[in-house]
Amino acid sequence: MRTPWCVLAVFLFALTISVCFADIIHLKNGRKIECTSAWEEGGNIKYVVAGGTILLPKSMVLKVEKTLVKKDEPETSKPSDPEEKSSAAIPKASSEQETRHEPDRKVKLRAVDSYTNAAVDLAEKKDFDGALEKFQKAYQLNKNEDTAFNLAAIHFILKDDWNAERYFNEVVRINPRNAEALYYMGDISWRKEELEEAQAYWQRAYQIHPDPEIKGRLESVGKERKAAEAFEKNASPHFLIRYDGGAADPGLVQEMSEFLEETYQELSNRFETYPSDPFIVVLYPRETFFDVTDMPAWSGGANDGKIKLPVKGLTSISEQMKSVLTHELTHSFVRFKTSDNYPVWLQEGLAQYQEGKRLGMDQSAVLSSLIQRNQLPPIERLSGSFLGASSQVAGVLYVYSLAFTEYLLDQHPSYQMNELLAELGKGIDFVEAFESVYQTPVAEIERQWRSEFVTE
């Protein structure tokens, strides 16, 4: 499968160059969205772009600027024969016409190659805004399978699923056997909890290209579909909760929905990021949860892009459940802000910190003992998942993650953590991003932490 170059957590919607912009939406994160029109409605900002209307939470928006940008006229060529305008058939060009138009065609194709190469270079340099602009220009000059795929892929990277799906659909219309486009369309459907559609796309992709990754996704979505056949839904502005009505009380689900909306507002402010697409939350009976997710027995929840929780016997939301929901929703925010480019220890440290956990005396004693015996690996080495570890080892890793994350948040301005997550969202390596934000190598800050942590 083709893998997009990198990932970037930026809320960005692409517009073709033929659109006549009238308004500019200024987001609080410094980004701008150009659109044909924008207005406030029901506490939200709605705006129109080519192909539809999009909604943003008003909390994301700094201001809406009314402006006007001259419309770019598409390139056209005058027909050599007036009857060409209405003829359904394409007349065969004379050798003189071919000679005259051949240089123009070659110039256009060279321009497409130039824009595409420039876009790839910019993407490798983490300038995804510039890459998007260059891919758009290449597409406008020559709308074919490759230029449409490039545009779709970068929208997918930017988690702009609306535009990604639009262009992947165009790719499949041009070439119904493009397995890569079908794979990504399946992933977009899966994100939206459209499991039947996701399975259909992946089946088509697998028939064309029997890749083990596609096979794994098919097996996983098959389990999800079977488990969720009779599930009910609860929708709110930022969440879609799917649940087994026999295992989760509707009153509990509604209470959970209200708590999640409150927590969404808190985390939006904390991380200075405002996801607009609804988060998917799936509540399973306990046995079904472990069968669907393949999580270890010590796990209390899962987050693979969707929040998945085991629920059984609860009729109201407990404090423990609130902690689990906050923990898992923090994972979703960090995934969104970093575009899935993060070390696991930082993800787990932030999730524990946000749910209210702090290092206790017993935990401190365990870490102190490990440090003194030189049995605690450098934080940089904790790059893999904790899921394969035993419950005892996983417990130590979670404590380690919380302790170092807590130290960073206590000893440094909180805005630096958001800057670190934003840098990771550009696809930058963690060590490089950390030193850029904190102006000190992570190894040096860890050395300081260890020296203060160990008690004589």
65 has a pLDDT exceeding 80:
no
- Give residue 444's pLDDT: 96
pLDDT band at residue 96, thresholds of 50, 70 and 90?
A: low
The CA distance from 27 to 48, in Å, is 16
Between 72-76, 110-114, 391-395, the lowest mean confidence (pLDDT) is in 72-76
Check if the beta carbon of residue 289 is closer than 8 Å to that of residue 309.
yes
- Taking only the tens place, the pLDDT of each residue in 398-430 is 999 999 999 999 999 989 999 999 999 988 899
pLDDT at 44: 67
Taking 3-state DSSP, the helix, strand and coil percentages for the chain, each rounded to the nearest 5, stand at: 55, 10, 35
Which bin fits 272, alpha (ψ -120 to 50), beta or left (φ > 0)?
left
Question: Residue 90 has which token pair?
Answer: 């394409």
Q: Which token pair is 367?
A: 């870490």
- Segment 37-65 shows an average pLDDT of 66
Each residue's pLDDT tens digit, 175-227: 999 999 999 999 999 999 999 999 999 999 999 999 999 999 999 999 999 99
Vertex 48 angle, CA 42 and 54, to 5°: 55
